[in-house]
Structure 1
Amino acid sequence: MSHSIKAKGEMDMLRKEDNERLCRVGPGEPMNELFRRYWIPAVLSEELPAPDSPPVKVRLLSEDLIAFRDTNGNVGLMDAYCPHRRAHLFWGRNEECGLRCVYHGWKFDTTGQCVDTPNEPKTSEFKHSVKLKAYPTYEKAGIVWTYMGPPEEQPGYPDYEWMRAPENYRNVSKTFEACNWLQALEGGIDTSHSSFAHNNDIADKNALRTRATAPKLEVVKTDYGFKYAGIRDLKDDGNYVRAYQFIMPAQQMRGAMVKWKDGKTEEFPSIAGHLWVPIDDAHVWVYNFIYSADVNIPFTPEFVEKHETDFGRGKADMLPGYKLVRNPGNDYLIDREVQRTKTFTGIAGINTQDYALQETMELPFCDRTREKLGTADTAIIAARQLLLEATRVVEAGNTPRGANPETHNNVRGCDRFLPKGVDWKEGLVEDMTAKF
């Protein structure tokens, strides 16, 4: 059922206690418990490139973990500290289907089970009683996923359309962002800012989002979150509609189908989006994906590299640890002359422009009681409502929206022109349905 959501000014102001309820992700916090009801990305597959490759430090939901790929290629994700004397397992030897602590030689398999205690007598059965906390993993589409919640509540494996697309039809990357996860997500689901922060050619007055800078937002709640559209009135050219999906708890999916060049539209068949995975209260991993919207058009390496570079994630833009060269320490290398003459921000990279704004808000949590929300913030209001609702659903012992992958495995975003008078909820049904 369509559910209209509108900003109402101070009535939509986020109370301090609700803001912290949404932002805090430490042990026992409501949002920590909510994220544990979903499969979430743990690491990229490329971080564990081969059997017995070096282990990787992982921090999720304020918890320190270690990931490793064993001799058989299976991935383990478990407590980062050896249960013997709490040495960090990052220093461990990855060998013969287990990770061996270098302090006293205790060895653990991918389930966290201790399989060897060489500093104990050979007759000892002690090892059988020792087991590290470990989480199940699932590897697909270049990502190692994990489920960190109650075993009895474990949902089916994630199955988004972009995960089903063949390897040469998609690209997945990852970036580190130094702000709380909600601050980052809300930037991602905000559609009107693209007319400003991402205006990279201020001289082009024909650009779609320059011609109409105040899109009308419409939100429809669903079993998995909500779908929404930014509708831009282009007068005689009809309506330019950018339709999104918000999949609980932290995924945005959008179309990138239409571009405007020299007064004409060009087809660009792709769909892109992000998943935000909290590291702790002040940091977040952003997983970025793009995939072809057309089963007949695979990506070329040149296209992928250009896309990543345009978004500020090209090879020359990255530091070790998936961190950006342009960061708060160097003011994102802002060029005021470029800002004056060429682009709205003077900052290179579409995502880098977002990070500059999000990482330099009030930290660790913005004072949302001082916000003045308008109609352009409808999707943000809806996300806050659903996330608060979901934390209470979990507290009541029930299943939150979107935990079942069957509710969202056939959705996609899109960009399209629609004639005046055509409702996007009807006119874009086919375009918002998966093809892979």
Structure 2
Amino acid sequence: MTHLPHKGTAYDMKPSTYNATLTEVGRGKPMGELLRRYWHPVGLSTHAINIPREVRALGEDLVLFRDGKRRPGLVHSRCCHRGTTLYYGKVEEDGIRCCYHGWKFDVEGHCLEQPCEPEMGKRRDRIRQPWYPVEERYGLIFAYMGPPDKQPVLPRYDCLETMDEGEFVDADDTSIGSGGDAIAPCNWLQHYENVLDAFHVPILHGNFSGTQFAEVMNKMPKVNWEYSPLGVKTVSIRTMDDGKIMRRVTEVALPTLRVVPNPFLGKLGRVESIGWTLPIDDTHYRIYTAARVAEKGVFLPKGAGAPTNRRRWQDMSAEERREFPGDWEAQIGQGPITLHSEERLALSDRGIVLLRRLLQKQVDEVAAGRDPVGVSFDPAAAPIVFEAGNRVSD
């Protein structure tokens, strides 16, 4: 009898690729140019002080500071004179001074002094250190890193504008929602798509790793995905043990906003926080969060049914993380940039498909010279309203 070789082994795999159009964020890249048409958080307001702070965003190395006039500034780290980093510079009343030859730049990159040149630099007004506009809102420093003639207004969000009694807006940069450390070593899209992945919740966060959220989240939902004015939303329906129906809406909105209801239920029927998934570069991201809270530093308070015996990710050993994986392990486990050519998408991945189509469409809009969805040039534009939240009915 002739022995037939096995078919379908890994040896037969074709070379693997990823979708560079949607994942690469550098200047000149399709997604990089799309993202540069929006404002992005690059630090907390408390990070902008009289000591330079290193920042990396959209693949660019920057320095954040606040001069003696209380003006925040964001400049490229490489000094335009001889190239050393301004991270070692000194912040003064009207700008930041390079440690190498003392050239001083204001928050908009104007060269104010060249101490080694006659008359402090007769032509210093012709020099401009690369810089980006910044604004402060919700306890965050936002930067616009796109073409100057396309700069939109910095949006306001309804859920962060009107507080209940005793509430205020607090900001965080520890990547709440990533499930792990503050800086995640993988592409931003792997996290962003996960926000719309309703079916991983009962599997990963419930049946596989034990109850990580409220018990009702372990139930398999009925799910529908829809386009929203700024992105895609997931509507998940679960029948609770008492027969009541929980309707949970989760949203992603351009450029990188994640609007996720409290998985411990929290206060029903409203948005409690917004997260911005900042692409640091092609293989790292960080989440900045602004939330309505009643106590400083307390985000996503646990509601009824929340487990009380879960260990924090930071306190778990590598062995414990392997035994009880969460979002971090699942997304980092896809690799620095997931290999899209190896995916086999199914019906439960419809939200991911809708998001990729939306992003591709907006990439094409920008490439064609048009404005992407969600940008506004009207300073009087109304705050953006989201539907996200947990709602329970009979």
Normalising by the residue count of structure 2, what TM-score does the alignment of the two structures yield?
0.81
Q: Aligned partners of 1:206 and 1:388: how far apart in 2? A: 35
Equivalent in the alignment of 2:371: 399
Q: Aligned partners of 1:301 and 1:110: how far apart in 2? A: 30
- Kindly report the root-mean-square deviation, in angstroms, between the aligned alpha carbons of the 2 structures: 3.3
Question: Is the CA contact (8 Å cut-off) linking 1:257 and 1:269 kept in structure 2?
Answer: no
Quote the offset at 1:306 in angstroms.
5.9
Quote the offset at 1:150 in angstroms.
1.3
Matches within 5 A, 1:93-172: 93-122=90-119, 124-165=121-162, 168-172=167-171
Aligned CA distance change for structure 1 residues 71 and 366 (closer, same or farther; 3 Å): same
**SS state at 2:248 partner:** strand
Q: Aligned partners of 1:117 and 1:224: how far apart in 2? A: 46
Aligned CA distance change for structure 1 residues 301 and 173 (closer, same or farther; 3 Å): closer
The one-letter code matched in structure 1 to 2:243 is D
Quote the offset at 1:162 in angstroms.
4.2
Q: Aligned partners of 2:340 and 2:77: how far apart in 1? A: 35
Quote the offset at 1:100 in angstroms.
0.2
Q: Aligned partners of 1:387 and 1:73: how far apart in 2? A: 37
Equivalent in the alignment of 1:299: 294
Q: Aligned partners of 1:126 and 1:203: how far apart in 2? A: 65
Quote the offset at 1:32 in angstroms.
0.5
Stretch moving more, 139-148 or 298-307: 298-307
Aligned CA distance change for structure 1 residues 204 and 146 (closer, same or farther; 3 Å): closer
The one-letter code matched in structure 2 to 1:357 is A
Matches within 5 A, 1:272-283: 272-283=273-284
Number of equivalent positions: 360
Quote the offset at 1:59 in angstroms.
1.1
Aligned CA distance change for structure 1 residues 31 and 271 (closer, same or farther; 3 Å): same
Q: Aligned partners of 2:211 and 2:364: how far apart in 1? A: 48
Aligned CA distance change for structure 1 residues 205 and 82 (closer, same or farther; 3 Å): closer
Q: Aligned partners of 2:35 and 2:198: how far apart in 1? A: 25
Identity percentage of aligned residues: 29
Q: Aligned partners of 2:212 and 2:34: how far apart in 1? A: 44
Q: Does 1:416 align with 2:391?
A: yes
**Runs of 5+ consecutive residues of structure 2 not aligned to the other structure:** 1-15, 174-181
Question: Is the CA contact (8 Å cut-off) linking 1:79 and 1:132 kept in structure 2?
Answer: yes
Q: Aligned partners of 2:351 and 2:300: how far apart in 1? A: 31
Q: Deviations over 1:280-306 (max 9, x none)?
A: 111111113432xxxxxx513485496
Question: Is the CA contact (8 Å cut-off) linking 1:137 and 1:144 kept in structure 2?
Answer: yes
Equivalent in 348, 354, 370 of residue 342 of structure 2: 370
Matches within 5 A, 1:13-412: 19-48=19-48, 50=49, 53-122=50-119, 124-165=121-162, 168-174=167-173, 175-199=182-206, 202=210, 207-210=215-218, 212-213=219-220, 215-234=221-240, 237-256=243-262, 259=265, 271-291=272-292, 299-301=294-296, 303-304=298-299, 325=314, 331=318, 334=320, 345=324, 353-362=326-335, 364-404=336-376, 406=381, 409-412=384-387
Q: Aligned partners of 2:129 and 2:212: how far apart in 1? A: 58
Quote the offset at 1:237 in angstroms.
1.8
Q: Aligned partners of 1:209 and 1:305: how far apart in 2? A: 15
The one-letter code matched in structure 2 to 1:169 is F
Quote the offset at 1:188 in angstroms.
2.5
Question: Is the CA contact (8 Å cut-off) linking 2:278 and 2:286 kept in structure 1?
Answer: yes
**SS state at 2:183 partner:** strand
The one-letter code matched in structure 2 to 1:26 is G
Equivalent in the alignment of 1:430: none
**Runs of 5+ consecutive residues of structure 1 not aligned to the other structure:** 1-15, 261-265, 292-297, 318-323, 340-344, 348-352, 420-436
Q: Aligned partners of 1:119 and 1:36: how far apart in 2? A: 36
Question: Is the CA contact (8 Å cut-off) linking 2:159 and 2:271 kept in structure 1?
Answer: no
Q: Aligned partners of 1:305 and 1:232: how far apart in 2? A: 21
The one-letter code matched in structure 1 to 2:331 is Q
Quote the offset at 1:126 in angstroms.
1.6
Q: Deviations over 1:344-393 (max 9, x none)?
A: x2x5xxxxx2112211223x321223223233322211111100111110
Stretch moving more, 196-205 or 215-224: 196-205
Q: Aligned partners of 1:384 and 1:204: how far apart in 2? A: 28
The one-letter code matched in structure 2 to 1:199 is G
Quote the offset at 1:121 in angstroms.
0.6
**SS state at 2:272 partner:** strand
More helix per residue? 1
Q: Aligned partners of 1:305 and 1:373: how far apart in 2? A: 32
Aligned CA distance change for structure 1 residues 187 and 203 (closer, same or farther; 3 Å): closer
Normalising by the residue count of structure 1, what TM-score does the alignment of the two structures yield?
0.74
Q: Aligned partners of 1:257 and 1:283: how far apart in 2? A: 25
Q: Aligned partners of 2:214 and 2:300: how far apart in 1? A: 26
**SS state at 2:205 partner:** coil
**SS state at 2:369 partner:** coil
**SS state at 1:99 partner:** strand
Quote the offset at 1:239 in angstroms.
2.8
Q: Deviations over 1:245-286 (max 9, x none)?
A: 2211211213238749xxxxx859662342111111111111
